[in-house]
Structure 1
């Protein structure tokens, strides 16, 4: 999105600033000459709104566009989105909010919450026809037909008995009706199933498929091998010559980007993918096939189904789009209910996980001084989606009861307190004040479940911080919510521990994982005194990132720890983001002053995880490590070099770079350079500005 809009920004004179992961200045630079367009994730958008309220700039926010508005009902991210919108509505009368979604049901609740007008349209650039397949029969989804399905046709494909056993769902028949002339997406329930289906289809395809766009496919294989330091997944090596690849979170960002580009250009005609592609990437197809009505082991929800089938139909390319859901006889009734049921309603997520969202919201309200009395907090709560949907409340409790209960919990947890002078208002209500720990928690956007643990860990770290390498800092910034995804391999744990220097081994002892424990675990011995499992997992994951920062080779690290490349990249991105949060947490607590400089540098290393000379190029939207290396080796060594590049020359200099990509890269580089120049100019003007409280005859430069 940043790359796509930078071109408009350069032409029309506005700045495009990215707020994602650890990127984005909080508070943002106050622009006087140019307006800024912030492209933000939900979490960073919330931080941005908090900082605008705190610095009195919220009224300068002209327009907020929320894509996929139905995410309001999706767990903790939905709660953060609701907090953000509620704060904007409460604190600014001039900001316009536009929400967009293709999968919303209870629009009335959202209209009331956002005080909004409602516009809807059934227009679709390319008509979509929905089908289901049971055995070798295909039925069109038709609400007027008996049982909701109208018979369409029988599959016309001759299967041998061995092929029937290998492909009982007739996937090969379904995809070969479309590819290679048109594109096709096959959604699979799991990552492993994606890989298996891609291989199975290639095994039975005609060899003639290999002859189509042969050079482009070989170039893609070469590109993927280059970005992976000479290595390539053997499955991709076998499937790409047929124009087929898998796409899921087990791939690195660079690999996914290359595969997406190749699919968009027609080099690849078929992707086997997981449901995440439906919501996150704009890769439409002539035909979308749903391998099963499941995501992992969970039956599809209507919203998920609509997101997936909505990929069918390429505007400007195809005249039609169709989806086929493969159904087993046992699931027929469930699928009938699925395709004909209304979309799921969108419900507030603030109350989930023991009022986790409400706790976080009320803490920040007091921290931002938007509300300092229980009555004021309650007034704010009356403007949330949660208040409109009061059926979500326990029967015996009112919204006021929940508000008071959460404020009490925040006081007991040491995050809020009543004002020291003890004065109360005429209703006997005490003013509320945020504690230093509460301030650090909300400023760092730290999960309230972990704030006390983080404080204790950082405090303990000060007793003996080991800076021989970054291992100790990595442990302190390891996200607590990644622990649940970690099952240590004890032999690997011992081997990697043995490779550490004596100083690094001391880190393990300091955090509470002695060598004897790892040795006994690796040898299968019974341990009488166990070690805290979360500490063990955090150290193990820290060893993964420690190896990655040393080697800058995700393939080698994945092999060493027997983990997927995609998991390691997710771990890296999550730790970079949490490191940024811990940095803001420490900035609010003077006792942690020593961490500020250390975490600033660590966050930068985690964000880019490349050699220092490539970092300026990777600040450009759409430039990942592989592309940065290509640009650097071709002489584009700085942001200024790239901003002044001719896209036509860039296409000739960089292998497999399309004109569109070249234009976007140059536009993004220009935008990045303009943003930096603007920031420096603002700084100069700020330094030269005469304070208003100094008499004119005393002002001097």
Structure 2
């Protein structure tokens, strides 16, 4: 089997280029198109790639590359050209913006020695300073120095709330304070709480590099000195601080004792803190970082931030709380609530030029978020009373008749021709994919791009094709043109590959949904907004600032530009949005959304309060007491207590003390909302009375999350799957109250009734069963992309379901354990393992080995490697052949040698072999052999 040419990690590191750094196209692109100026835009037309038969193996001396037969290229008729962009009234003379286009905006460290991390004021160990230096961080910004030197911050005596623009270096401040806390006190812990799984994974990788070797290689004299002074923590059991990520669907089932720094999603952090309070291990906690603090008033998940912070404030122990945000207009109020020092800066190392694009005309709005001297008016723009700075010509192509789409494509094309990266934000997944396809059709053709870049794009396409899901058909069309899209419909592996390729400069244009703005760190030279909507609704001022803030990033681009492209009907709303102030945040705890009920139940369950008076005192530490009056708080407390008491989750004795019932404790331990917990309890109670044990469907239904995923059931698919159920599955239907006759009517187009509470509960059951059918197929080794096609769902949604189920199952296992239902807990744990492995029971042992899951595990099994011991005793070179069989879709470049590809597989085989040996030795040890 022939493979792809892969470079060593050292070569890749040496050749890596960042998305914002200038890259060159092949010499076939004229100098005018490659000027580092918006005015130098070409039409994008060029020779069309028409090769459809196998080409010679040798590459052209001009830098073009030939590919093997079978690769999909767009036919010549599909080639489009981008509209020209004309610049008016070019400003004369230098400005801050034009100067920074030439000179990078980096603060000088020669003036102030305290901008050096090695300065004694920070008291950082040399190893940590060296680690930061190896990552390119040798000095800090003046604002970071001023912030860190705030009263009591470096010693941990004071909490901190601070605001800085996106890209201004917020994270470094929190990292330094958090690291100081756990290094200066032995056997202590820190938590860093982030809103999204992607951010957690990214931060875990970053911090593991930062802390590498912190406690290693110390001479005995220094060791004894540090022990005597208790300055730096010294852990003999490992060489560096343990950084562990906690998120739904994570493969590592770590506990409080397994980490020094825990990086968590909101849900996992709340669960960890509840458990630690209950078993008193919370005394080890010394620092908690709350990132994206503005999310505290998010209707869906923000209240968890408030619950976490309020519990920490109620503990009688020193815990430094560090909250940060890019958009927090009432930071002083939040700082007052958290008893924190408040710091705010508007410094941004990279200037951003902001523009509005309307009917092909480009209007300058302001720089660095500071608007122009006066706001633009609707009449001035719509009646052409103000002159634009640039004009995007109309397109002759029918595909680009929409002026908004034409502007998006032309601006993206212009950015790419300058050799920079652009992020395009779209309001839906469908628009993402459509924009990516159209932009790719105006990009330079493969033979116009230098061979090194094309090799990297071919490698990327190869990696996408080698995934178990195969390559997305739209990505197949766009990747070789340097364009891709990024949204939740892709699997996490696809999203990671796209993000890495964009960050490395292999891809120049990434079209994403709005959630990418806060979900991952991908800066760009230019941010282009295809309207300002998320679905049908306009984005909020905070989200708009997040998206525009992705333009320009220190070390990646000397300047940034944003272009908001809007249509005629939206002009007034868009102008209001662009000039709108960020709304002040407030507590979203109340009885109507059931958040107060959960807060009360958690507090009583972990015994932080047990009376009406102590609950009032507890809530005085909550944000609700700072954004609402005392009467509102007391009303919420009284009402919430009554509701959870009526649900049977708490009881009160003759001394007016409250205590959580067994069910209440089970709900808190499983980290679900009280009303969901009551529903789960009712379902479990029915299940335990009559459980269908001769099939998988019943346990899978119990295993399925109760949260509303917003799924759309394809009733024809539901009917077909129902018809294919065996006798055991049909009994499960009857037990759950699902009527086949009703499903037949739904498949014929009759709407699902959800008018009464009973109808809504039944609809919930139907949707859960539809998801349970998908889980059944996943547990039986059906690939994600096949399940997605079968159930008419995006692949990313199916994967998210599987990952959510793993987290939900972990909660349900705890629920069952607290309720004393050990058998049910064991059954759930078994299916949780199967879902994580994506395999049947016979492959579960093999699936414990890294890189061996689902399809790969089955290939190993079929080749005779059926135990961990068999793999542990095998020569890694033998395993390479098995890995090749598990990647039949690997794309190969004709004429390239297989050495690098086989080298990559051999490295993976060595990891598999080493892991199998560790598992094998662990088994022998556990059996006393």
* 2:714 is the counterpart of 1:489: yes
Shift of 1:653: 6.5
CA distance in 2, matches of 1:515, 1:387: 52
Structure 2 partner of 1:14: 241
Structure 1 partner of 2:682: 456
Q: 2:628 aligns with which of 376, 390, 401?
A: 390
- Kindly provide the CA deviation profile for residues 20-65 of structure 1, in whole angstroms up to 9, marking residues without a partner as x: 115599993547xxx6111111011001111111111222101111
Q: 2:455 aligns with which of 215, 225, 228?
A: 215
Structure 1 partner of 2:561: 322
- Does structure 1 retain, via aligned residues, the 8 Å contact 2:478–2:484? yes
- Does structure 2 retain, via aligned residues, the 8 Å contact 1:471–1:542? yes
Structure 2 partner of 1:73: 297
Structure 2 partner of 1:415: 649
Unaligned runs of 5+ in 2: 1-202, 215-239, 378-385, 884-897
Between 1 and 2, higher relative CO (CA 8 Å, sep ≥ 6) is seen in: 2
Q: 1:541 aligns with which of 756, 771, 774?
A: 771
- Does structure 2 retain, via aligned residues, the 8 Å contact 1:243–1:270? yes
- Does structure 1 retain, via aligned residues, the 8 Å contact 2:249–2:802? no
- Kindly provide the CA deviation profile for residues 407-452 of structure 1, in whole angstroms up to 9, marking residues without a partner as x: 1221111111112xx2x2xxxxx11111111111111112112222
Shift of 1:469: 3.9
1:390-539 alignment runs, 5 A limit: 390=628, 397-419=631-653, 422=654, 424=655, 430-482=656-708, 485-522=710-747, 532-539=762-769
Structure 2 partner of 1:579: 809
Shift of 1:589: 0.8
- Seen in structure 2, the aligned counterparts of structure 1 residues 630 and 310 have a Cα distance that, compared at 3 Å, is farther
- Kindly provide the CA deviation profile for residues 554-585 of structure 1, in whole angstroms up to 9, marking residues without a partner as x: 11111111111111112112222111111111
1:606-617 alignment runs, 5 A limit: 606-609=835-838, 612=844, 615-617=847-849
Shift of 1:297: 1.3
Structure 2 partner of 1:255: 494
- Seen in structure 2, the aligned counterparts of structure 1 residues 600 and 443 have a Cα distance that, compared at 3 Å, is same
Structure 2 partner of 1:688: none
Structure 1 partner of 2:288: 64
Q: Secondary structure at the match of 1:6?
A: helix
Q: 1:337 aligns with which of 576, 586, 590?
A: 576
Q: 2:412 aligns with which of 166, 175, 178?
A: 175
Give the structure-2-normalised TM-score. Answer: 0.64
| Length, aligned pairs only | 650
* 2:785 is the counterpart of 1:555: yes
Shift of 1:205: 3.6
Q: Quote the RMSD (CA, aligned, Å).
A: 4.0
Structure 2 partner of 1:690: none
- Kindly provide the CA deviation profile for residues 322-371 of structure 1, in whole angstroms up to 9, marking residues without a partner as x: 111112344333333322222121111212x6151211111111111111
Shift of 1:219: 2.1
Q: 2:255 aligns with which of 13, 19, 28?
A: 28
CA distance in 1, matches of 2:303, 2:287: 21
CA distance in 2, matches of 1:655, 1:389: 61
CA distance in 1, matches of 2:858, 2:527: 35
Q: Secondary structure at the match of 1:366?
A: helix
CA distance in 2, matches of 1:477, 1:526: 27
Structure 1 partner of 2:391: 155
- Kindly provide the CA deviation profile for residues 370-412 of structure 1, in whole angstroms up to 9, marking residues without a partner as x: 1111000000001100100015x8xxx4422321221122111
Structure 2 partner of 1:686: none
- Seen in structure 2, the aligned counterparts of structure 1 residues 447 and 209 have a Cα distance that, compared at 3 Å, is farther
- Does structure 2 retain, via aligned residues, the 8 Å contact 1:614–1:629? no
CA distance in 1, matches of 2:838, 2:660: 36
1:105-144 alignment runs, 5 A limit: 105-142=329-366, 143-144=371-372
- Does structure 1 retain, via aligned residues, the 8 Å contact 2:394–2:403? no
- Seen in structure 2, the aligned counterparts of structure 1 residues 488 and 10 have a Cα distance that, compared at 3 Å, is same
Shift of 1:210: 6.1
Q: Secondary structure at the match of 1:100?
A: strand
CA distance in 1, matches of 2:847, 2:441: 42
Q: 2:832 aligns with which of 586, 590, 603?
A: 603
- Seen in structure 2, the aligned counterparts of structure 1 residues 15 and 268 have a Cα distance that, compared at 3 Å, is same
1:192-211 alignment runs, 5 A limit: 192-207=430-445, 211=449
Q: Secondary structure at the match of 1:290?
A: strand
- Seen in structure 2, the aligned counterparts of structure 1 residues 465 and 287 have a Cα distance that, compared at 3 Å, is same
- Seen in structure 2, the aligned counterparts of structure 1 residues 656 and 293 have a Cα distance that, compared at 3 Å, is farther
* 2:465 is the counterpart of 1:225: yes
CA distance in 2, matches of 1:81, 1:14: 26
- Seen in structure 2, the aligned counterparts of structure 1 residues 521 and 175 have a Cα distance that, compared at 3 Å, is closer
- Seen in structure 2, the aligned counterparts of structure 1 residues 652 and 595 have a Cα distance that, compared at 3 Å, is farther
- Seen in structure 2, the aligned counterparts of structure 1 residues 97 and 628 have a Cα distance that, compared at 3 Å, is farther
Structure 1 partner of 2:380: none
- Kindly provide the CA deviation profile for residues 500-544 of structure 1, in whole angstroms up to 9, marking residues without a partner as x: 332223222221224444345445689999892222221111111
- Kindly provide the CA deviation profile for residues 481-517 of structure 1, in whole angstroms up to 9, marking residues without a partner as x: 236x233323211221233332223222221224444
Shifted more, 92-101 versus 162-171: the winner is 162-171
- Does structure 2 retain, via aligned residues, the 8 Å contact 1:312–1:323? yes
Shift of 1:628: 9.9
- Does structure 1 retain, via aligned residues, the 8 Å contact 2:360–2:403? no
- Kindly provide the CA deviation profile for residues 229-269 of structure 1, in whole angstroms up to 9, marking residues without a partner as x: 5x432211111121111111111111111111111121111
CA distance in 2, matches of 1:130, 1:656: 47
Shift of 1:161: 5.8
CA distance in 2, matches of 1:527, 1:67: 41
Give the structure-1-normalised TM-score. Answer: 0.83
- Seen in structure 2, the aligned counterparts of structure 1 residues 376 and 329 have a Cα distance that, compared at 3 Å, is same
- Seen in structure 2, the aligned counterparts of structure 1 residues 624 and 284 have a Cα distance that, compared at 3 Å, is farther
CA distance in 2, matches of 1:179, 1:299: 28
